[in-house]
Amino acid sequence: MGITVNEIVDAKGLACPMPIVRTKKAITNLEPGQVMEVQATDKGSTADMKAWAENTGHQYLGTVEDGDVLKHYLRKASDEETKEETRHESVTDLEELHNKIEEGTSIFILDVREPAEFVFGHIPSAVNIPLGELEDRLNEITKDKEIHVICRTGNRSDLAAQKLTKKGFNNVKNVVPGMAKWDGPTERNY
């Protein structure tokens, strides 16, 4: 038994946020109930697709690995099921984060990128919990400090910040635009 898809989106070779950007654009072409296959090679795209679907009301059906390609399956929601996509309200920029680090402010920096991304450059003292593992590792996050969530561009971290807030974490800030533009100190673990 195969999966019948109504549209295939090619996001191979693209990094976050592009698989989601292409998915958002393509899903408008579908009728409610129709299924889309998104082909991606970004390992973080599985967590991104799940979180995006949860945030919008569309149904994440699953992911099939085909060699290096991840095939994500999404079902378009009906108008009644669709939720307006939300953004985390509390945002901080890179300069503000850099200043807090330099001042020695007691903050918790949560990096939600995939381990391979983290290893090649991260903010010293940042804790790496990939978005896809966040629910299972909430106990590793300090609740009594201001939490700054960062990813590569600010999109994955936005989804993580929303998830943390829903789980009762207070004082959560999404860092934008993310590590792609970070010019402060970094560490590498390779």
Distances (CA, A) of 9 to 4, 35, 43, 74, 75: 14, 11, 16, 11, 13
Mean pLDDT score across all residues of the chain? 95
**Mean predicted confidence (pLDDT) in 161-180:** 96
> CA–CA separation, 115 vs 98, rounded Å?
22
Q: What pLDDT shows up at residue 1?
A: 52
Instruction: Determine which one of 16, 47, 53, 151 is catalytic.
Output: 16
16 among known catalytic residues: yes
Confidence (pTM): 0.81
pLDDT (tens digit per residue) in 34-55 = 999 999 999 999 999 999 999 9
Q: What is the DSSP track for 140-182?
A: GS-TTSEEEEE-SSSHHHHHHHHHHHHTT--SEEEEES-GGG-
pLDDT (tens digit per residue) in 2-36 = 789 999 999 999 998 899 999 999 999 999 999 99
